[in-house]
Amino acid sequence: MKKDIPMPAVENVSVAIVREKPEGEEWNVYLVNLRGEELKNVLITSTGYGDIDGTPKKTSTLRHFFAAVPPNSYEKVEPIMEYTFGLSNEYWVSFSIGEQMYDKRYVFLPETIQESNFTQVPIIGKKGVMIK
């Protein structure tokens, strides 16, 4: 049954992890809608997993819901702590546009959330690591 449901590719929807202040320790995860259309019924599931010092670790799974994300805008999903940057941080995003459902998995691999990988995140106007 699931194979019968068409799932088109997700385009122009990104997840970004942004340091709020250049000297700060405060980081947040954002959903960025770069489309000219509103995203509706947005469900985001977040979890972290991997090994730290040879010990398997897994964070709690959190779920976030937004009734709508306007065109060319963003929503703050959750704060993220630096100590989780050594894990894979996964964000599973599902939403609808009109009658069509979309679904995409975004994974920030261990140690990729660092200044050498920063880019200017559109719409938010701050630097961070973004996956399109």
Successive 10-residue mean pLDDT values, the chain, 132 residues: 77 97 88 98 98 92 99 98 95 96 97 94 96 96
In this prediction, residue 87 carries a pLDDT of 97
Q: Quote the pLDDT of residue 1.
A: 57
pLDDT at 79: 97
Check residue 76 and give its pLDDT: 99
| Helix/strand/coil for 4 | helix
In this prediction, residue 2 carries a pLDDT of 63
- The whole-number pLDDT of residue 71 equals 98
Model pLDDT, residue 110: 96
Contact predicate 46/52, CB 8 Å: no
Rounded-to-integer distance, Cα 18 and Cα 87, Å? 17
**How is the chain split into domains, by residue range?**
2-112
Read off the tokens for 7. Answer: 């799932």
**CATH of range 2-112; options 3.40.640.10, 3.40.50.300, 2.60.40.10, 3.40.50.620:** 2.60.40.10
Q: Which two tokens stand for residue 74?
A: 């963003």
* Residue of 29, 24, 126, 124 lying closest to 79 (CA atoms): 29
* Paired tokens of 87: 């894990």
Task: Give the number of other Cβ atoms within 10 Å of residue 53's Cβ.
Answer: 6
Residue 116's identity, in one-letter code, is S
